[in-house]
Amino acid sequence: MTVTEETAPASHYERIGGASSVKAAVELFYDKVLADPELAGYFTSVDMVGQRRHLALMLTVVLGGPNEYTGRGLAEAHQPLNITVEHYAKVGVHLTTTLTELGVPADIIADVQTVLGQVQDQVVASGNRSGV
């Protein structure tokens, strides 16, 4: 049997509802992050419209949707921010909570958490990785 578009398994991106669902997740996620006093400071001088767009494009890729991301790499964008392991973990909790609240299936959330683990060293500042 050959795999066609009709028989190919749906990507996580398609399963959650595509672009509109990713956009809803990004909006709710940043509402949570910006309301968190430990994390809000990272975004005081950030263009949040652009930031939300970047995250939506990156989340789309993580979920198996179309890759239209053309921004900086994770390390280039995050290393200057001196992000700690604790703050990275809090962001992960906010993302997991967001996806859970939006009814994203557990297997998709588990895959997103796996990706978060894989990219942690690109985001957390090199001086903040001890004891991990």
- Residue 5: inside a domain, yes or no? no
**Block means of pLDDT (10 residues each) for the chain, length 132 residues?**
64 96 97 97 94 94 92 88 94 97 97 94 80 45
Write down the pLDDT at residue 9.
79
Q: Do the annotations mark residue 94 as ligand-binding? A: no
24 vs 6, 27, 91, 120, 128, CA distance in Å? 27, 5, 17, 24, 31
Write down the pLDDT at residue 130.
52
- Residue 89: inside a domain, yes or no? yes
Q: Do the annotations mark residue 12 as ligand-binding? A: no
- Residue 4: inside a domain, yes or no? no
- Residue 6: inside a domain, yes or no? no
| Number of structural domains the chain divides into | 1
- Residue 105: inside a domain, yes or no? yes
Write down the pLDDT at residue 58.
92
Q: What is the CATH number of the domain that holds 48?
A: 1.10.490.10
Write down the pLDDT at residue 51.
94
- Residue 26: inside a domain, yes or no? yes
Q: For residue 93, what is the enclosing H or E element?
A: helix 85-101
- Residue 1: inside a domain, yes or no? no
Residue 116 structural domain? 12-128
